[in-house]
Amino acid sequence: LTLASVLLFVLSGNIVMLYATWVAMSLSLHQLLIFYPTRKKAQAAARKKFIVARIGDAFLLVALVSLYQTFHTGNLAAIYQQIQDGVNLPSRNLDVAAVFLVLAAVMKSAQFPFHGWLVEVMETPTPVSATLHAGLINAGPFLIIRMSHVIHYSSAASMLLLIIGGISAIFGAIAFTTQPAQKTALAYSSIAHMGFSLFTSGLGLYA
């Protein structure tokens, strides 16, 4: 279910499917994180992840509602076409949507200072944490790249990406070198990787 949600998220062509699969992959991942009820640290880490994920879900919902109110359609291709045409676009609505898209991506990809849960979920089963690092955490940068038409329109969103992504990339890269445990080191490496991805998106280098 988790992997299916990721694949459907990547294939989403409208905001309803995008949001539903964004939430679904988080909820299904949560069940994997708490697979062993006797592992107290894993249970605590999963609860922290759950709270951060729900905040990210709320941010994404605000962004998508703002997009719908602006363009009166949930079809992503139609939204992108209207942005490219540039006809009477309300800049404030697009700014709100873009900034909340960035905030949702930051939560999803464990960026500084919301990164603590990613380090702690190393207490969960290794195949689960590996799936998280190899796939699900990439949903944040993917969302930004998928919505690049909206992000590119907002200088505030681009600045947020540069600041948060840049700090996270530097912080994660430095912390990575100080970790004695391989799994924890990989967690900080993932934070740095996601930070670099968001930073380059902030520069407009989506490709």
Note the pLDDT of residue 87.
Answer: 66
Token readout for 11 is: 């294939």
CA dihedral for 184, 190, 196, 202, sign (positive or negative): negative
Look up the pTM and report it.
Answer: 0.89
pLDDT digits (tens, 9 = 90+) for 138-165: 899 999 999 998 998 888 999 999 999 9
Note the pLDDT of residue 200.
Answer: 94
pLDDT digit of tens for each residue in the chain (207 aa)?
988 999 999 999 999 999 999 999 999 988 988 888 888 888 888 888 899 999 999 999 999 999 998 888 889 998 888 888 876 677 788 889 999 999 999 999 888 888 878 887 777 777 887 788 777 888 999 999 999 989 988 889 999 999 999 999 999 999 989 988 887 888 888 889 999 999 999 998 988
Using the CB atoms, write b or e for 4-36: b if 16+ within 10 Å. Answer: ebbebbeebebbeebbebbbbbbebbeebbbee
Token readout for 187 is: 């967690």
What is the rounded distance in angstroms from the CA atom of residue 1 to the CA atom of residue 12? Answer: 16
Q: Which residue in 162, 166, 164, 169 sits closest to 192, CA to CA? A: 169
Token readout for 84 is: 């490219």
